[in-house]
A and B are shown apart, each in its own frame.
Chain A
């Protein structure tokens, strides 16, 4: 482990924020085999799913949701599993230790999940996250959210949030139920109004949850086609597809191949597969490297579903297991540096210390033309 105590002053200066926290002095940059990695965790949570926060009458859903998450945790190494009680509500100290101290994360991005129909104060909201950001302004970024079904009131709230929290990004859930509506689409004209407002407000990173979901009943909640549509229409915005569209990785890849502003958010890919299904993990990474390319893939732990420590360490050590994978793009140290932090740092304007950057032109992007040719077989 290397010792890098100084660079955080530079970053705090660059992105604003308060005084250096006591624990950022002496932060340990992750170092392995003489290489140092700048880690941006693109998807962290600080939630409260304890029974005290369950909305009366909705307990079964609040309970089911967190238990479903808890089952996913078991896909990680056994020594990283938590008891359900801690998983329902963990402390600020746990967060700081797991993410920053042990987890090698240099900067974390909060993706909020409101779920106010089930949880009194919400599951993990911008407001809660912002309190943590206030304490650790040089290491955390809070993203907002919107829902086009909220109309004018929603736009007003978005504006307030953007100004108060200096938002750079939002997290969207198209599959969320609301007042009898069973989800929405980024193709809806109302969504375009919000996307345009995002541009005006300087919110340029649109994270869209396209992954495992329990609602709704019938609509194809996994459909990623709407991302294609709005990415074309809003070239100034970046669309980060969280969970790479699982279980529809192929649909996502075809879109990402064609749209330069569509990115892969690796939450669940690393946490859910790298330990539990290592050979499948290598295949998925190989496919993503081929179709999407190492410049458009973003590391994310999905903490607290999984701790970042084993994911960062495992990913730095990862390579294809054998020659069965020889057809996939090569994985280099530069590939890993980009995915672990440099790509996200660029999207969020996070200053990366000089010694942790890559020389220009390092690595190879996806074979875009090849991929484009092949994208229409279904």
Chain B
């Protein structure tokens, strides 16, 4: 694997905090250059110059952190381009400082942490329900869904992401832990499955729709082709 491929791979682990999709798939990574000596230059862009600065900061900071973890890398520069608070965010990220330092007197990191946790909870609900619906569609019963264990989950992206989210939320994720959990970590009860799915579908729709609007705005701004699954007829 080339260094650049490793860097892109690491960027694929950085998620938009609200949409819970990798920034690489959302088209937020404009360029990624690696010099012979191992200096990395990453440029990020968002759907509009006015996208929420707190989310912009999180993605830029997470990107730098993910790439700095790699071996055989020297300097890592992340630049958020075409954003109205880009200068402040770029400076804070480069110095490894928090969002509060980027905008002194205007922000509070505690708010941001709480918001990130809320997004993680919603993302977990949405991902679990997608997994669960797929399993039900392939013949599993409600009872099986509620008694299955982490070890029973298929090795698919949604399942892997669920476990990452559980890690971040402090919800147990050992092989013997329940496959589908409530925010408390308690297993889902079969009698509540329908209700749970109904609610989860709404949360998921919210996430998917926002992702759709973001993609459309990005495509329009940069003259990109529309993604194939949702072309107006």
Closest to B220 in A: A74
Sampled A-B contacts (19; CB under 8 Å): A61-B84, A64-B50, A71-B217, A75-B220, A182-B106, A217-B54, A217-B85, A218-B99, A219-B111, A221-B52, A246-B209, A247-B206, A247-B210, A250-B205, A250-B206, A278-B233, A280-B230, A377-B195, A377-B196
A352 in the interface, Cβ–Cβ < 8 Å? no
Q: Which of A370, A376, A378 contacts B122 (CB 8 A)?
A: A378
**A378-B213 in contact (CB<8A):** no
Does B200 interact with chain A (Cβ within 8 Å)? yes
B125 within 8 A of A: yes
B209 in complex: contacting residue of A182, A280, A370, CB < 8 Å: A280
A-B interface contact total, Cβ < 8 Å: 122
A277/B195 contact (C-beta < 8 A), A71-B48, A217-B53, A218-B106 known: no
Asked if A377 and B125 sit within 8 Å, CB to CB, the answer is: yes
A24 and B216 CA atoms in complex are apart in Å by: 38
Instruction: Determine whether A276 belongs to the interface, using a CB cutoff of 8 Å to chain B.
Output: yes
How far is B232's CA from A247's CA once the two chains are assembled, in angstroms? 22
Q: Is the CB of B206 within 8 A of A249?
A: yes
Q: What are the 6 tightest A-B residue pairs by CB atom distance, in nearest-first order?
A: A214-B50, A218-B107, A377-B199, A247-B210, A249-B206, A74-B220
A72–B200 CA distance with the chains assembled, in angstroms = 28
| Chain A 240-251: CB-based contact to B (< 8 A → 1; otherwise 0) | 000000111110
Chain A contacts for B53, CB-based, 8 A: 217
Given A218-B106, A218-B111, A378-B125, A249 and B217 contact (CB-CB distance below 8 Å):
no
Closest beta carbon of chain A to B60's beta carbon, Å? 14
- Nearest-neighbour CB distance to chain B for A335, whole angstroms, equals 19
**Are the C-beta atoms of A277 and B106 separated by less than 8 Å?**
no
Complexed CA–CA distance, A163 and B112 (Å): 42
Shortest beta-carbon distance from A81 to chain B in Å? 10
Interface size class of A (residues with CB under 8 A): 35 or more
Give the residue of B49, B51, B212 whose beta carbon is less than 8 angstroms from that of A277. B212
9-residue interface stretch from A97-105, A283-291, A300-308: A283-291
Complex CA gap A273/B204 in Å reads 16
Which of A61, A64, A216, A250 has its CB near the most chain B CB atoms (within 10 A)?
A250
A287 in contact with B202 given A217-B54, A278-B230 (CB within 8 Å):
yes
Distance of A253 Cα from B209 Cα, bound (Å): 15
Cβ of A272 under 8 Å from chain B: yes
* Complex-state Cα separation, A221 to B55, whole angstroms: 12
Select from chain B the residue with minimum beta-carbon distance to A245. B206
Q: Do A277 and B54 have beta carbons less than 8 Å apart? A: no
CB-CB under 8 A from B220, the residues of chain A are 71, 74-75
Question: A149: which B residues are within 8 A, CB to CB?
Answer: none
Complexed CA–CA distance, A182 and B52 (Å): 14
Residues on A with beta carbons closer than 8 Å to the beta carbon of B49? 64, 67-68
Contact B203 A277 (CB under 8 A): no
Q: Is A275 an interface residue (CB 8 A)?
A: yes
Q: In the bound complex, do residue A60 and residue B84 qualify as a contact, i.e. CB atoms below 8 Å apart?
A: yes
Contact B205 A378 (CB under 8 A): no
Contact A374 B213 (CB under 8 A): no
Q: A375 interface residue, CB < 8 Å from B? A: yes
Q: Is the CB of A378 within 8 A of B183?
A: yes
Closest CB of chain A to B47's CB: distance in Å? 8
Q: Does A360 contact B (CB under 8 A)?
A: no
**Chain A residue nearest to B111 in the complex (CB):** A218
Tell me if B221 counts as interface (CB < 8 A to partner A): yes
The answer on a CB contact under 8 Å between B196 and A284 is no
5 extra interface residue pairs, beta carbon distance < 8 Å, beyond A218-B106, A370-B198:
A68-B48, A247-B18, A253-B202, A273-B213, A376-B199
